[in-house]
Amino acid sequence: MEAAVLIEKHGTVVSPKGFKADGVHCGLRYSKKDLGVILSEVPASAAAVYTQSHFQAAPLKVTQESMAAGRKIQAIAVNSGNANACTGDQGIEHAYKMRRACAEQFGIREELTAVASTGVIGERLAIEKVLRGMTLLHPSSCEDGSESFERSILTTDTGVKHAGARLSIDGKEVWIGGAAKGSGMIHPNMATMLGFITTDAAIEAEHLQEALSEVTDVTFNQITVDGETSTNDMVMVLANGLAGNAPLTPEHKEWNHFKDGLKEVCKELAKQIAKDGEGATKLIEVQVTGGASVQEAREAAKKVVGSSLVKTAVFGEDANWGRIIGALGHSRSAMNPGQTEVWLGEHCLFREGEPQHYKEEEAAGYLKNQTIVIRVNLAAGDAEATAWGCDLTYDYVKINASYRT
């Protein structure tokens, strides 16, 4: 029997062997840290997933060029405060300069460097500030280094997001650590979210990509805040092999164990992003069973958690299960309406085509919790899926009505 994956709430991107991080204020934002870096002691196998937007930002294009050079990355430089998106040829030039400055600062080849940006779309990046800031970065493997990095990548987030997992592979201790940012414009296939995951496991890039793509489908691609996808979204994983295990492949006896660890870290980061939706007061988790396929179960879960009417009902602490039925009603997922069930926590609200007897005040009382679980049985098969989101509040409108001003 495989050993359990030990979730480490205080795990970070520097928990795995050989990783360092830092974050500084370079002047893109008024006073907050806005430039960060993750650095591996050695070139690491790399895998990434990117936004599906037609308007991919300049940093993503430059990073994809680095990845194509050999699927090895040693440093990731990230700025907040400016997305460097929809900025034409100059934006590409600035992303190259950012990559070059990072490589020079840490004495590595440019093609071993990835770059990412987040912030306002359509404004020129103040590249001179970034270049000066790069010289201030001094990564360390201590907690202060990881926290500085976590803060440097935030935009409208209310707090840092990190997660970790510890497991044993081939008798070697292996760590997986992650950091993320994301609060608004969250509706993956990838969303305004960035995720950075490190591990000291030994694994070739092609197998790491296989694991990340599979895990992303059930974690980051199952969150939604506002139904909007951004231009800069990316999740990148670096694996430097310093744990000393035999290289992981799908044939390795502990392959699924590693994927479970990666999944847990990604799921925890995804839930933190959903919970920190702009202006949010509650995390909503929608658990769907009885799907005709996994894909259809996923779609139904996201349809419910993404419904503005469901989100506002949760914010108003109104157990209006009709909002859930309304969202399911125009889902493309197969369901048996006469046998579909809707639960709010432990309260069954709808079953066999009609309302169930429940105490309104108890259901409303449940909605006062910070985490709300909605369970739906589609009665069309055996597939299951979960999605995460948040409530929709007055503050969401305030934050986004004045995002640039």
How does pLDDT run across 241-265, given as a tens digit for each residue? 999 999 999 999 999 999 999 999 9
Give CA–CA dist 65/114, Å, rounded.
9
1 is a domain residue:
no
Same structural domain for residues 342 and 259?
no
Q: Is 198 annotated as catalytic?
A: no
**Which domain range does residue 341 map to?**
283-401
Select from 273, 291, 311 the last residue of a domain.
273
**pLDDT reported for residue 29:** 93
Alpha-carbon span 237 to 198, nearest angstrom: 6
Query: Do residues 226 and 303 share a domain?
Result: no
CATH number of domain containing 35: 3.60.70.12
Distances (CA, A) of 42 to 3, 75, 144: 28, 9, 22
**Catalytic residue selected from 51, 87, 155, 192:** 192
Same domain for 300 and 263: no
Asked, for residue 171, whether it belongs to a domain, the answer is: yes
Residues of the chain with pLDDT under 50: 1, 184-188, 190-191
Residue 229 is predicted with a pLDDT of: 67
- The total number of structural domains in the chain stands at 2
Given 208, 242, 273, which residue is the final one in a domain? 273
Regarding whether 205 and 58 lie in a shared domain, the answer is yes
Model confidence over 60-113: pLDDT tens digits?
999 999 999 999 999 999 999 999 999 999 999 999 999 999 999 999 999 999
User: Is residue 278 assigned to a domain?
Assistant: no
Q: Which of 273, 301, 329 is a domain's end point?
A: 273
User: Is 119 in the same domain as 47?
Assistant: yes
User: Does 359 lie in the same domain as 267?
Assistant: no
Residue 256 lies in a domain: yes
| Same domain (yes/no): 254, 168 | yes
Burial class (CB in 10 A: 0-12, 13-18, 19+), 112: buried
* Whether 222 and 332 share a structural domain: no
CATH code where residue 375 lies: 3.10.20.340
d(C-alpha 51, C-alpha 229), whole Å: 8
Residue 235 · residue 118 · CB < 8 Å:
no
> Residue 36: helix, strand or coil by DSSP?
strand
Do 380 and 254 lie in one domain? The reply is no
